[in-house]
Amino acid sequence: MGRWVYLNGKLVEAENAKISVFDHGLLYGDGVFEGIRAYNKKIFKLDEHVDRLYNSAKIIMLDIPISKEEFKRAIIETCKANNIVNGYIRPIVTRGVGTLGLSPWNCSNPSVIVIADTIQLYPKEMYENGLEVVTVATRRNLPEAVNPMIKSLNYLNNILAKIEGKIAGVEEVIMLNQEGYVAECSGDNIFIIKGGKIFTPPIVVGALPGITQATVAEIAEKEGLPVIEKFFSRAEMYIADEVFLTGTAAEIVPVVKIDGRVIGDGKPGKITKVLIDKFNKYVVEHGTPIE
């Protein structure tokens, strides 16, 4: 059975899922997207992801032509068509076909797309042994320029950081904001643990509000480990007891070395392991059924 993609109200075979070269999503990165996980035939945090998609669209004045409920149904139907049990879902809304000029007002019909497939972000051994990361020179976009709260199709800021990581020989990188505080990674949120307390950068530092990030904070709270939003520097990461990253695709991945500095004892930390175990159980038990 072939793969199916939801495109503007219909399920079409993947090889026939095409949009115009004049779509402003292609010409200018003018659009928004989400990344959603499915576990055991359940879509994890579907409501939260769809809400964030619509929030991103509202910020850039992009009117999504279907309701939230219709979008959720499109996501579920795409998963069913592709027999998704454990997978990754990519809803996308582009500005639509327009002229070669910048004006979004010339784009009358946004394109609505849902792709359901599989993904593995990091090799399995990195979850077991931990990840090495580096800080890159590319700074996170200024919130006053392109606000990171917008999960937009223009991901060049993140891609440039990812390129630096590739050159340095690592899978993920840390991005600072213009003031030199830790913002986030190229595709993940970051947490540090010091003295039994868990810290993560606030949104105002230039980070996307992560749904996995919020889930991990909720789990930590239940374990008696409140997560504190805090500005912190690279130096504070180096002397942390534990560091870990979170993301829809990444889930929770331990970090054992940053910029050549060994974190803690150089192995995934005890609190991180507890959170990974609790998270793995949480995602299986929660979600919107694919039916």
Of 90, 117, 144, the position where a domain reaches its end is: 117
Q: How many domains does the chain have?
A: 2
pLDDT single digits (tens) 264-283: 999 999 999 999 999 999 99
Distances (CA, A) of 276 to 13, 40, 212, 229, 287: 36, 17, 12, 20, 18
Single out the residue in 83, 117, 151 at which a domain terminates: 117
Residue 291 lies in a domain: no
Q: Is position 239 within any domain?
A: yes
What is the distance between the alpha carbons of residues 203 and 208, in angstroms, rounded to a whole number?
Answer: 7
Please state the pTM of the whole predicted model: 0.93
The domain of 54 spans 4-117
151 is an active site residue: yes
Same domain flag for 174 and 222: yes
pLDDT value of residue 284: 86
Evaluate if residue 227 carries a pLDDT over 70: yes
Query: Helix, strand or coil for residue 286?
Result: coil
Phi, psi torsion values for 246, nearest 5 degrees: -135, 150
Question: What is the SS3 assignment for 79-126?
Answer: HHHCCCCCEEEEEEEECCECCCCCCHHHCCCCEEEEEEECCCCCCHHH
Q: Which CATH number does the domain housing residue 255 bear? A: 3.20.10.10
What is the pLDDT confidence band of residue 286, given thresholds at 50, 70 and 90? confident
Q: Name the active-site residue from 151, 222, 270, 278.
A: 151
153 and 225 within one domain: yes
Are 74 and 18 in a shared domain? yes
Instruction: Give the rounded percent of residues in the chain with a pLDDT score beyond 70.
Output: 99
Please tell me what DSSP assigns to residue 145: T
Residues 100 and 196 reside in one and the same domain: no
**Phi and psi (nearest 5°) for 205?**
-75, -15
Structure tokens at 100: 């070669």
Single out the residue in 81, 96, 117 at which a domain terminates.
117
Query: What are the pLDDT digits (tens) for 98-133?
Result: 999 999 999 989 999 999 998 777 888 899 999 999
